[in-house]
């Protein structure tokens, strides 16, 4: 037996170590919602929602209002039949971060109940992954300084935020390269460019002899045609992030041949759609990376186990807990920067 | 720990209760290969391969020759990390029934080791499914007599084999209808028709006021364009079976908008590709049925747990053990015809 007795939401607030600046958005802190699923035998499972208004249209006060609704949906259901619970909670597509946290808390409770870690329930494909670290938007000097520190800390994959100023971004990219040669780069415009600006960016970087491993979400969220334009005119692989939330959106991107990479984030898709996206993208012979919103160690724990279990990802952009001030580490994984492992 | 110590193949032969006749093929018996995975702690997992030369290009003597190869591939691997074993055994795409049996035996051993049934490892979506029963090709009188018996035994879904003689098939369909009104029909041409013949068949049946729930594989295995032609000219849902073996083939069918249904058989796809196909087809908003080759209860056990775990299938065409003479029931499920349950 493993029937759900209650689901509780708890608001947790975390400050960023330093302000996090991406296209048209600066964050100083984040409010995440811890989801606690308790079974009738006392077993407890944990999840965390890190909401995004920009990507998911989510606001914390609205999400908190779903606590009772979620209880009505799944109390009494058995976590051993987790796909039944996934099917019910798939209706929460208007609050995908809550869907993710509830679905993961269910898996976590199932895991505790049977004594098998979540990553092995999902297939145990890996035991160790490497996370990148992100340089947010700033002056060229700030970005170069960040790059130096990231290399010093042992990271070999650097994510670079661009998208607010094309000319500065090109200069910044070249300056960062000078202090981080040998690193791999994921460049993320967070919807900031037009298709033509995006192609200019990659063309200039290519001419400078710099390699970009993934060029993320160059254009607007709903511009699938724009993504396709960039993909077909870019020497570097192009990824959808904001454009790839549900499995249905990803199926359309596959059919349109619009991208080379999908960036899965559990906060956009939940566990159920994320599992589907893994299988679809591999069957389409495209590639996967795994990202995060502003999860603490409790939330990134979900992505670490998902990544280890499925083994599906070329790149893991799971640096948010490294950027937040946390009083207690809550992950069921170990950290040896840049590695997460079990 | 659950490390694989050995993999053994064992040839089992089963007679059909009566000869099984489909397009251009009559079977009197089947030779299946039992796969036994033993772990270093003594736990044992079982699978069964039911090879198909017609669909998979497989021959039993060649498959038996893979025993040592499979041992070299996976001995020493831990069943708790089953996706690692799936990735390695995906290389056995030339012997998909062996791939299926080995992958399932691994899941079965994992299941025994942790005390959680396979259907719950896969999600526990259902606890009960209904199987159809198949009328093979024969005279119209034989087919009508078979239909009567099937209805008497309590089946509500009847699978009807057609594809050798269009005019006789149309007459047989109408005659069967008269003795089985209220039943649902899956009609399977096993590649026997041309596209134009297939459209004539469904047009005539539609005009006769008979409903077909799924019209399976009307045209040749490699004729995706033909499938698409039938689908776009049929009032009934059209399924791919022989044309839908790997996840890559299914992705092409989805992109081409060639069918309404996919018939998954573990013997064509293994567990790994079958899991992918489930997710892809649902994301494409198409439908799924689950079929079998000539598995005994040991082999259909695999499909029962897969169907219960994923809960993905509208129809379950899992009647083969009901058609074979078996001295011992080997399923980890219960039978109350037409239901299989846990």
Residue A5: which residues within 8 A CB-CB, separation 6 or more? A38, A39, A40, A75
Point out the annotated binding site of B.
188, 216, 241
pLDDT at B79: 98
Q: Helix or strand or coil: residue A234?
A: coil
* Mean pLDDT computed over every residue of chain A: 97
Note the pLDDT of residue B266: 98
Under 8 Å between Cβ of A50 and A267? yes
Cβ contacts of A278 on chain B, cutoff 8 Å: 279
In contact, A190 and A22? CB cutoff 8 Å: yes
CA dist B183 → B75, B158, B163, B177, B214 (Å): 48, 7, 21, 8, 13
The verdict on A276 and A260 lying in the same domain is yes
Angle between helices A195-207 and A166-179 (to 10 degrees): 30
Taking CA–CA distances from B83, the nearest residue in chain A reads A123
Nearest Cβ partner for A311 among B83, B123, B124: B83
Contact A279 B279 (CB under 8 A): yes
Contact B283 A283 (CB under 8 A): no
CB B145 within 8 A of CB B177: no
Give residue B93's pLDDT.
Answer: 96
Which pLDDT value is given to residue A232?
A: 98
What was the pLDDT predicted at B238?
98
**B311/A87 CB distance under 8 A:** yes
What pLDDT is stored for residue A313 in this prediction? 98
What residues does B128 pair with on adjacent strands?
A: B341
* Domain containing residue B16: CATH number: 3.30.390.10
Percent of chain B with pLDDT over 70: 100
Q: B248 at the A interface (CB within 8 A)?
A: yes
Helices (H), A247-296: 247-255, 266-283
Check if A86 contacts B (Cβ < 8 Å): yes
Helix (H) or strand (E) holding B38: strand B25-39
- pLDDT on residue A18: 93
The yes-or-no verdict on residue B16 having pLDDT over 90 is yes
Percent of chain B with pLDDT over 90: 99
Q: Is B173 exposed, middle or buried (0-12, 13-18, 19+ CB in 10 A)?
A: buried
Residues A137, A212, single domain; the answer is yes
Report, in angstroms and rounded to the nearest whole number, the Rg of chain B calculated over CA atoms.
Answer: 19
Give residue B66's pLDDT.
97
Whether A78 has its CB under 8 Å from any CB of chain B: the answer is yes
Q: How far apart are CA B236 and CA B111, in angstroms?
A: 40
> Looking at the partner chain, which of A81, A124, A248 has a beta carbon nearest the beta carbon of B83?
A124
Cross-chain Cβ contact B123/A282 below 8 Å: no
Give the pLDDT confidence score for residue B122 in this predicted structure.
98
- B145 and B168 inside one domain: yes
Q: What is the CATH number of the domain that holds B146?
A: 3.20.20.120
Task: Place B267 in a pLDDT band, splitting at 50, 70 and 90.
Answer: very high
Contact B26, B164 (CB under 8 A): no
Q: What angle, rounded to 10 degrees, do the helices at A82-89 and A96-114 form? A: 170
Report the domain count for chain A: 2
Write down the pLDDT at residue B298.
Answer: 98
The answer on pLDDT for A193 being more than 90 is: yes
Q: Are residues A320 and A220 in the same domain?
A: yes
Handedness of CA B65, B72, A116, A108 (dihedral sign): negative
What pLDDT score does B14 carry? 98
pLDDT given at position A224: 97
Alpha carbon of A81: minimum distance to chain B alpha carbons (Å): 4
pLDDT exceeds cutoff 90 at A1: no
Q: Which domain holds residue A263?
A: 121-341
Predicted pLDDT at B22 = 93
Looking at the structure, tell me whether residues B97 and B155 fall in a common domain.
no
User: Which residue among A161, A228, A268, A332 is the active-site one?
Assistant: A161
For residue B86, give both structure tokens.
């799936």
Q: Does B87 contact A at CB distance below 8 Å?
A: yes
- Name the token pair of B230: 């039938």
Please, which pLDDT band fits residue A325 given cuts at 50, 70 and 90?
Answer: very high
- Say if residue A237 is in the same domain as residue A104: no
Residue B228's pLDDT is 98
Q: Is A161 one of the catalytic residues? A: yes
Residue B134 Cα, gap to closest chain A Cα (Å)? 30
Question: Minimum mean pLDDT among A23-27, A107-111, A283-287, B214-218: which range?
Answer: A23-27
Mean pLDDT along residues B304-331:
98
For testing contact with chain A, the best of B79, B89, B93, B121 (most A CBs within 10 A): B121
Question: Is pLDDT of B212 > 80?
Answer: yes
- Active site (annotated) includes residue B265: yes
Question: At residue B1, does pLDDT exceed 90?
Answer: no
- What confidence score (pLDDT) does residue B64 get? 97
Burial track A289-325 (b if 16+ CB lie within 10 A, e otherwise):
bbbbbbbbbbbbbbbbbbbbbbbbbebbbbbbbbbbe
pLDDT at residue B176, rounded to an integer: 98
Give B224's pLDDT tier (boundaries 50, 70, 90). very high
pLDDT-derived band at B312, boundaries 50, 70, 90: very high
Question: Is residue B308 a contact partner of residue B111, using CB atoms and an 8 Å limit?
Answer: no
Does one domain contain both A221 and A310? yes
Do residues A236 and A170 both lie within one domain?
yes
Q: Quote the percentage of chain A above a pLDDT of 70.
A: 100
pLDDT at A74: 98
Residues B42 and B66 in one domain: yes
Q: In terms of domains, do B16 and B149 share one?
A: no
Confidence (pLDDT) at A299: 98
pLDDT, average across residues A260-275: 98
CB atoms within 10 A of CB A260: 17
**Closest chain A residue by Cα to residue B280:** A280
How many contacts does A have with B, using Cβ atoms within 8 A?
98
- Given A99, A228, A247, A265, the catalytic residue: A265
Chain B residues in contact with A84 by the CB 8 A cut-off are: 123-125, 311
Cα separation of the two ends of chain A: 27
pLDDT in tens, A72-84: 999 999 999 999 9
CA distance B275 to A244: 21
Average pLDDT of the segment spanning B41-60: 97
Helices (H), chain A: 53-56, 60-64, 67-74, 82-89, 96-114, 118-121, 140-152, 166-179, 195-207, 224-232, 247-255, 266-283, 297-310, 320-323
Which pLDDT band, with edges at 50, 70 and 90, does A172 fall under?
very high
B12: tokens are 């089992």
Token pair belonging to B13? 């032969």
Q: What is the pLDDT of residue B265?
A: 98
Q: Calculate mean pLDDT across residues A84-98.
A: 97
Q: How many CB atoms lie within 10 A of CB B171?
A: 14
**Quick one: average pLDDT of B249-275?**
98
Shared domain check, B240 and B336:
yes
Which of A63, A95, A116 is at the close of a domain?
A: A116
What is residue A145's predicted lDDT score, i.e. its pLDDT?
98
Provide the mean pLDDT of chain B. Answer: 97
Would you state the structure tokens that stand for residue B287, as one six-digit string?
Answer: 């439908």
Determine the Cα angle at B272 with ends A86 and B119, to 5°: 50
pLDDT in tens, B153-194: 999 999 999 999 999 999 999 999 999 999 999 999 999 999
Final residue belonging to a domain, choices B116, B150, B176: B116
User: Can you give the pLDDT at residue B30?
Assistant: 96
Please count the other Cβ atoms lying within 10 Å of the Cβ belonging to residue A72.
10
- The interface pTM score, or ipTM, of the predicted complex is 0.91
Q: Which of B99, B159, B161, B228 is catalytic?
A: B161
What is the pLDDT at residue A298? 98
Place B204 in a pLDDT band, splitting at 50, 70 and 90. Answer: very high
Tell me the average pLDDT across B279-286.
98
pLDDT tier, B274 (very low <50, low <70, confident <90, very high otherwise): very high
**Minimal C-alpha gap between B198 and chain A (Å):** 27
- Least Cα distance to B295 among B1, B10, B21, B31 occurs for B31
Choose one of B65, B96, B116: the last residue of a domain.
Answer: B116
**Partner residues linked to B324 by β-bridges:** B16
Residues B233 and B334 in one domain: yes
Spatial contact of A158 and A150, defined as CB atoms under 8 Å apart: yes
- pLDDT bin (cut points 50, 70, 90) of residue B333 is very high
| Confidence bin at A120 (pLDDT 50/70/90) | very high
């Amino acid at each position: 037996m493993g029937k759900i007795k209650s689901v509780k939401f708890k608001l947790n607030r975390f400050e960023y170590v330093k302000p996090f600046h991406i296209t048209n958005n600066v964050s100083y802190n984040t409010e995440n919602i811890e989801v606690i699923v308790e079974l009738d035998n006392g077993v407890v499972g944990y999840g965390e929602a890190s909401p995004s208004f920009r990507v998911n249209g989510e606001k914390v006060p609205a999400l908190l209002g779903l606590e009772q609704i979620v209880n009505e949906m799944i109390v009494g259901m058995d976590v051993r039949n987790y796909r039944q619970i996934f099917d019910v909670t798939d209706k929460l597509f208007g609050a995908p971060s809550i869907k993710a946290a509830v679905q993961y808390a269910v898996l976590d409770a199932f895991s505790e109940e049977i004594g098998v870690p979540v990553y092995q329930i999902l297939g145990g494909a890996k035991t160790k992954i490497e996370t990148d670290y992100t340089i947010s938007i700033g002056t060229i000097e700030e970005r170069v300084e960040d790059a130096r520190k990231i290399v010093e800390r042992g990271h070999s994959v650097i994510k670079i935020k661009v998208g607010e100023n094309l000319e500065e971004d090109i200069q910044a990219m070249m300056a960062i390269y000078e202090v981080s040669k040998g690193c791999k780069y994921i460049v993320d415009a967070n919807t900031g460019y037009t298709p033509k600006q995006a192609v200019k960016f990659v063309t200039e970087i290519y001419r400078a002899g710099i390699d970009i491993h993934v060029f993320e979400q160059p254009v607007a969220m709903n511009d699938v045609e724009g993504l396709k334009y960039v993909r077909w005119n870019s020497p570097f692989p192009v990824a959808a992030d904001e454009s790839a939330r549900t499995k249905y959106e990803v199926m359309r991107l596959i059919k349109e041949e619009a991208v080379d990479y999908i960036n899965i984030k559990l906060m956009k898709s939940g566990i159920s759609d994320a599992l589907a996206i893994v299988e679809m993208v591999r069957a389409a012979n495209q590639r996967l990376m795994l990202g995060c919103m502003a999860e603490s160690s409790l939330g990134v724990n979900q992505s670490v186990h998902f990544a280890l279990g499925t083994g599906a990802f070329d790149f893991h952009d799971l640096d948010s807990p490294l950027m937040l001030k946390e009083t207690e580490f809550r992950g069921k994984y170990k950290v040896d920067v840049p590695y997460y492992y079990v």
